[in-house]
Amino acid sequence: MAKVLVTGGAGFIGSHIVDRLCARSHEVHVLDDLSSGAQRNLAAGVPLHKLDMRSDEARKIVTELTPDFIVHAAAQVSVRVSMDQPALDTDLNVTGLVNILTPLRGRKGTHVVFLSSGGAVYGEQECFPAPEGHPVRPESVYGLSKRVGEMYLEFWSRVWGVTSTALRLSNVYGPRQNPHGEAGVVAIFCERLLAGKSIAVNGTGMQTRDFVYVEDVAEAVGRAVDTRSAGEFNIGTAQETTVMELAERLRDLACPKAEVQSAPAKAGEQMRSCIDNSKAKKVLGWAPTMEFAKGLAHTLEWYRTAAR
DSSP 8-state assignment for residue 135: -
Active site residue 142: yes
Question: Which of 158, 163, 138, 157 is CA-nearest to residue 148?
Answer: 138
Q: What are phi and psi of 29, to 5 degrees?
A: -115, 150
Cα–Cα distance, 112 to 224 (Å, whole number): 9
Residue 29 pairs in a beta bridge with: 5
User: Is residue 44 a contact partner of residue 20, using CB atoms and an 8 Å limit?
Assistant: no
DSSP string, 158-170: HHH--EEEEEEE-
Terminal Cα-to-Cα distance of the chain (whole angstroms) = 38
C-alpha radius of gyration, the chain, whole number: 18
CB count, 10 Å around CB of 301? 14
Amino acid in the structure at residue 168: R
Residues 95 and 53: their CA atoms lie apart, in Å, by: 9
Q: Are 244 and 201 in contact (CB under 8 A)?
A: yes
Q: How crowded is residue 282: how many other Cβ atoms within 10 Å of its Cβ?
A: 10
Among the listed residues 122, 142, 173, 213, the single catalytic one is: 142
The answer to whether 115 and 169 have CB atoms below 8 angstroms apart is yes
ω into 129 cis (within 30 of 0): yes
Helices first, then strands: H and E counts in the chain: 12, 13
Pairing between strand 27-31 and 48-49? parallel
> What are the catalytic residues?
142
